[in-house]
């Protein structure tokens, strides 16, 4: 089990973060000036930290297991500017919908390094993927085997696939982000896995290359991987003996943790890489298999720590002896994770970054829900209307799960590097909300 000491607040922010003249700077940009220029709520991605994170993943896994591919799980956040940046890093890409697939296509991402996941892919989505020449379809159920066989046959192609298995392992994370347990909508149960292998091997337009499992996220310990890997590789060896199945590729999924709060720092990438690659090598040797290609799927662990959200303080409400609420101009509309997953965050006042924390407050959003709380009971400097709150570790899942609840506008996103800020996505307008309506 990984153990680590509490980290400092600034360590949770992107690597280029600095405090200068009482202000928070990221990527050489003053966060207060960014808020004034682009408005709030505002999401800020640090390009340098993002690129360094990709290289770190490639190095830690590639140095231990040369035949490996790091695939960014784009469900964590994707848009065309981000995918354009990632395609030059040499990482692969996981997609789970026709929309994510279309973004990858629009950015010119190499299709051979794209993996298509999902428990209910439509015929139209599969046609889109096969026609594009997608590298792998990760097949989730028996219906998909027959549907994908039909699609590939109609196009006169043979599609490479992996089978997603549900190994029945408790990852000891939030129940809503546990995906490898028996009671999950994802993947073939191990009791049905042999039948899935047989069906895939019999499909003339499908080429079964390997097995995939995703246990859940975020995983702070490697024990779930160490339990799943022998189980899955023993199954592969059994399928080799019984049916001639050759395991050419194997993926234990992703789920790697990031640091959200100081008292629970995430392990380094090397911790996961060493455990996973060592377990695969040891089990392959025991099972008489050849070393398969390894794919891992970090999403949160690529983008999560490399972005922050900026909010502007508005009204406050002091309930003596109970709590002081301080409202900001965002909330559950742009970050649903606290009410949905009980997610915990830290915060810093970007225009009072050096000032002592003397007041306990609860940061709440502007939405018409009592559960619209971003951070409960956090110590900050005294707050006034107009102050800028900076929340770290906001790069994953906040943006793609954002909504237009209360007819609110989804925030702008900027990319910072060497003192320059570039829009990655403009802020929505009220006209955007109206333009899609028909009457």
Q: What is the set of active-site residues?
A: 368
Q: How many residues does the chain have?
A: 439
Q: In 10 A of CB 5, how many CB atoms?
A: 7
429-435's contacts with Cβ under 8 Å and 24+ in sequence apart are 433/404, 433/407, 433/409
413, 45 Cβ separation under 8 angstroms: yes
To 10 degrees, what angle do helices 80-87 and 47-62 make? 40
Q: Which neighbouring-strand residues pair with 26? A: 29
Both structure tokens of 192: 């049905």
Task: With beta carbons less than 8 A apart as the criterion, state whether 26 and 50 touch.
Answer: no
Angle formed at CA 123 by CA 120 and CA 127, multiple of 5 degrees: 120
β-pair type (136-139, 114-116): parallel
Residue spans of beta strands (DSSP E) within 255-405: 293-297, 307-319, 323-328, 348-349, 359-364, 373-380, 388-391
Closest CA to 119 of 147, 140, 138: 140
């Amino acid at each position: 089990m990984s153990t680590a000491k509490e980290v400092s607040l600034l360590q949770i922010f992107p690597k280029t973060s600095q405090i200068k003249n009482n202000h928070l700077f990221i990527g050489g940009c003053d966060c207060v000036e960014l808020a004034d220029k682009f408005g709030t709520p505002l999401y800020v991605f640090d390009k340098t930290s993002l690129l360094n994170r990709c290289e770190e993943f490639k190095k830690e896994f590639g140095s231990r297991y040369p035949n490996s591919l790091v695939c960014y799980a784009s469900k964590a956040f994707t848009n065309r500017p981000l995918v354009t940046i990632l395609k030059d890093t040499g990482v692969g890409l996981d997609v789970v919908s026709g929309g994510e697939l279309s973004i990858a296509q629009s950015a010119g991402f190499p299709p051979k390094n794209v993996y298509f996941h999902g428990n209910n892919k439509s015929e139209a989505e599969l046609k889109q993927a096969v026609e594009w020449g997608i590298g792998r379809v990760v097949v989730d159920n028996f219906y998909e085997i027959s549907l994908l066989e039909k699609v590939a046959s109609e196009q006169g192609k043979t599609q490479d696939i992996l089978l997603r298995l549900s190994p029945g392992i408790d990852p000891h994370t939030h129940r809503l982000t546990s995906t490898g347990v028996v009671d999950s909508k994802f993947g073939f149960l191990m009791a049905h896995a042999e039948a899935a292998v047989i069906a895939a091997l019999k499909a003339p337009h499908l080429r079964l290359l390997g097995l995939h499992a995703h246990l859940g996220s975020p995983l702070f310990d490697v024990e779930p991987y160490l339990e799943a890997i022998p189980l899955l590789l023993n199954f592969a060896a059994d399928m080799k003996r019984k049916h001639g199945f050759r395991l050419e590729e194997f993926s234990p999924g992703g789920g790697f943790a990031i640091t959200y709060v100081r008292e629970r720092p995430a392990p380094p990438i090397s911790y996961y890489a060493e455990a996973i690659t060592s377990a695969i090598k040891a089990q392959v040797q025991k099972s008489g298999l050849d070393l398969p290609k390894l794919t891992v799927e970090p999403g949160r662990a690529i983008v999560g720590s490399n972005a922050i959200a900026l909010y502007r303080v508005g009204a406050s409400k002091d309930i003596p002896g109970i709590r002081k609420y301080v409202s900001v101009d965002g909330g559950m509309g742009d970050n649903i994770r606290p009410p949905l997953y009980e997610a915990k965050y830290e915060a810093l006042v970007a225009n009072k970054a050096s000032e002592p924390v003397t007041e306990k407050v609860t940061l709440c959003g502007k939405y018409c829900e009592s559960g619209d709380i971003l951070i409960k009971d956090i110590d900050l400097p005294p707050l006034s209307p107009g102050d800028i709150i900076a929340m770290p570790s906001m790069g994953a899942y906040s943006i793609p799960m954002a909504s237009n609840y209360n007819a609110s506008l989804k925030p702008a996103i900027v990319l910072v590097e060497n003192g320059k800020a570039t829009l990655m996505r403009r802020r929505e307008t009220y006209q955007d909300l109206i333009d899609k309506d028909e009457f």
